[in-house]
Copies of this chain bind each other. A is one copy, B any other.
Amino acid sequence: MIDKTLPSTAAAVAGIEDGSTVMIGGFGRAGQPVELIDALIEQGAGDLTIVSNNAGNGDTGLAALLAKGRVRRMICSFPRQHDSWVFDGLYRAGEIELEIVPQGNLAERIRAAGAGIGAFFSPTGVGTELAGGKEERTIDGRRYVLEYPIRADIALISAYRGDRWGNLVYRETARNFGPIMAAAASTTVVQVDEVVELGALDPEAVVTPGIFVNRVVPVGSRPWVQGGAFVGGVDIEGRSCQVRS
């Protein structure tokens, strides 16, 4: 029997080595695998290259990993947010390297890694300083720059439900980078709200087939989602909110 589920986040992140490239899903806080990041902090790997759209919020999750000094290099599209003080401090102190990638090129480069594409010509960024030094070509009258895949040793992502084969579904805009990062890493580790029986996920609606997933760990419902129903959330200042009737 195939069973990719693990009993703890500690088991899920076991074996991550110093110097690894780690993709971390999420767009802001939505889809950020906070419990896995906490486990990674506990696990202790350092000298990491992190690929993630943002560079952490507040003092938790990715920001906490940064604060521990475990990250040598960030590859992201938008590190500067209203609550990215941890990254900001490290960057200004020269304690972290940064590669800025336009968001769509970031997504497509990750997708290319998973899909076995050697490189691709993208129209995004042409003529800007972020295309500096890159090969440029005009095809059918339009200018493109050549972009290369971004691969990772590990992907840490958050999904809504998964089964023991690793099939995943997501929830709303928390889907974001999860499906493409799952395919781009040698080892993909997923935290889910809930592990469901094999066959419980509609095969027409599976977003990430289990072939891309190595480890699945249930972390329980988020405060705003219980048993599949929205039961009230928190706003960006963290105040708790009512259930929608």
Which A residues are within 8 Å of any B CB, using their own CB?
108, 112, 115-123, 137, 139-140, 142, 144, 148, 169-172, 202, 204-205, 207
Contacts and interface: CB of A to CB of B under 8 A. Distances in A.
Given A118-B121, A204-B207, 14 more contacts: A108-B117, A116-B122, A116-B123, A117-B121, A117-B122, A118-B120, A118-B122, A118-B139, A118-B140, A119-B120, A119-B139, A120-B121, A171-B204, A204-B205
Which 7 interchain pairs have the tightest Cβ spacing?
A118-B121, A205-B205, A118-B144, A120-B120, A118-B139, A119-B121, A117-B120
Nearest to A160: B204
Contact of A204 (B121, B137, B169): B169
A242 to B, nearest CB: 23
Given A170-B204, A205-B202, A205-B205, A108 B115 contact: yes
A148 to B, nearest CB: 7
B108 A118 contact: no
A125 B137 CA distance: 23
A208 to B, nearest CB: 13
Contacts of A122: 116-118
Contacts of A169: 204
A139 B116 CA distance: 12
A140 B118 CA distance: 8
Contacts of A120: 112, 117-121
A148 B108 CA distance: 16
A118 to B, nearest CB: 4
A226 to B, nearest CB: 17
A139 B139 CA distance: 21
A171 to B, nearest CB: 7
Nearest to A169: B204
A161 to B, nearest CB: 11
Nearest to A137: B118
Contacts of A121: 117-120
A141 B119 CA distance: 13
A161 B108 CA distance: 29
